[in-house]
Amino acid sequence: MRYLPLGFDVKDRSCLIVGGGSIATRKARLLNKAGARLIVVSPEITDELRQLSAGSGGEWYKSGYAVDYLQQAELVVAASDSEVINAQVSADAQAQRLPVNAVDAPELCTFTFPAIVERGDLSIGISSGGAAPVLARRIRAQLEALLSPGLGPLVDLAARMRARVKAALPEARRKNFWEWVFAGPVANRIEAGQLEDAENEILKALRDWQGNPSPVGEVYLVGGGPGDPDLLTFRALRLMQQADVVLYDRLVSPEVMELVRRDAERIYVGKKKAFHAVPQDDINQLLVNLARDGKKVLRLKGGDPFIFGRGGEEIDKLSEAGIPFQVVPGITAASGCASYAGIPLTHRDHAQSVRFITGHLKDGSLDLPWKELAGPGQTLVFYMGLTGLQTICAQLINHGLDQGTPAALVEKGTTQEQRVVVGDLTSLPGLAENSEVRAPTLTIIGGVVGLREKLQWFRPD
């Protein structure tokens, strides 16, 4: 590490910029945002740089560089178009022990400008020491996507409450309290724009913490998508990294589980036909119990928790128990698997509507509105329909759907193990058996399946 990352307080301090072009203007924007007084030396400058300097209480010297200008400076930026001038500015500044940055010349710098991720008073600098600035900017872009815009207001709230928390709680408990604030309902209120509610929440929690050593935790009901971890939402990723314990089912892919916080406790509660690792009522109660222990609980489900995921049952129990919770939708299997199979669920020429249907057998039969499902101009997507595939196809034919209607099975969709089997209502059950298709598999029926041969794009390695 060549450069030591430090925070530099430039508020109301004079910062000298030698140069007046676009590069000098970019540096001036950063310094201005931090409250610096901008002294600019250049025969010509951009309109924006002139405005920044004047607005900061600084001054523009319409002349060439001279060493005397350093007398006004506490920090120096050499950003002229001349390498010779920049080198002279650097040498003069270092001779006077002033911190100096020479643009695109790391060997002339005593400090560099990092790529900055900013959320109010919270800032993150990414630096390659001038060796790979493009890489630093790419990393900044990734962090920008991951970090919530609500972090700035959250920092502001923490600043206002810091003295009150310090007076109310002993040092041993303050860290845990702030951990709860930054990862719990207070942060969620701020992300939703409910700033007043967030402040009320933290005040109420502070009273509770003074009298109750074990405040209630929170449950995150998160959709893990159909398998490809790249399909997770940014919010899902943030909460997966915050959780103390995770309850997950068998439809959550190993690749998605790799993104869960490493030291989180993991509890498998998966279900498959005729076998539940943990009964649903027990899962509901376990969520309540863990939250009452003060844990941040991640309930991670394949697909979307509100589409055949029993998410509604779980948060109903949490609501009754007074447990804070939030729900993060995921890409449901119908959308993800169909897209990766090259099958558009709707198409002006083939399907004007789409229906998601449970294909889960109950008492050996499927109680579904078959006449409606056999209607024209729609796409049918059956979840958990592999076991009842013979019945599904036969019922649709019996109720008027053409036996030549295209149909497909998508096994382990969106993953590197994806397989797609295409046929029609007559042939699909036999194809499934001959191909030894296994769950999890999605069934898609309708004219849109006929587009797969032309539109398929995802080819697993």
Active site residues: 249, 271
- Distance between CA atoms of 182 and 187, rounded to whole angstroms? 6
- Distance between CA atoms of 90 and 400, rounded to whole angstroms? 83
- Is 1 labeled as ligand-binding? no
- Is 161 labeled as ligand-binding? no
- Is 439 labeled as ligand-binding? no
Which residues 6+ apart lie within 8 Å of 21 measured at CB?
42, 45, 46, 79, 80, 81
Q: From residue 364, how far is each of 251, 387, 388 by CA, in Å?
A: 24, 10, 9
- Is 226 labeled as ligand-binding? yes
- Distance between CA atoms of 281 and 287, rounded to whole angstroms? 10
Q: What is the DSSP letter of 307?
A: S
Q: What is the number of alpha carbons within 13 Å of residue 169 lying toward its C-beta?
A: 23
- Distance between CA atoms of 298 and 248, rounded to whole angstroms? 8
Contact 310, 203 (CB under 8 A): no
- Is 152 labeled as ligand-binding? no
Q: What is the DSSP letter of 35?
A: T
- Is 413 labeled as ligand-binding? yes
- Distance between CA atoms of 260 and 320, rounded to whole angstroms? 28
- Is 307 labeled as ligand-binding? yes
- Is 22 labeled as ligand-binding? yes
Alpha-helix residue ranges (DSSP H) falling in 56-110: 83-95
> What six digits make up the tokens of 52?
């920044």
- Report the alpha-carbon angle 341-299-122, nearest 5: 95
- Distance between CA atoms of 278 and 249, rounded to whole angstroms? 10
- Is 116 labeled as ligand-binding? no
- Is 303 labeled as ligand-binding? yes
- Is 257 labeled as ligand-binding? no
**Per-residue b or e along 186-220, where b marks 16 or more CB atoms closer than 10 Å to that residue's CB:** bbbbbbeeeeeebbebbeebbeebeeeeeebbbbb
Beta strands 59-61 and 406-411, pairing class: unpaired
- Distance between CA atoms of 450 and 455, rounded to whole angstroms? 9
- Is 23 labeled as ligand-binding? yes
- Is 384 labeled as ligand-binding? yes
Q: Which residues are annotated as a binding site for S-adenosyl-L-methionine?
A: 226, 302-304, 307, 332-333, 384, 413
Q: Which residues are annotated as a binding site?
A: 22-23, 43-44, 226, 302-304, 307, 332-333, 384, 413
Q: Which residues are annotated as a binding site for NAD(+)?
A: 22-23, 43-44
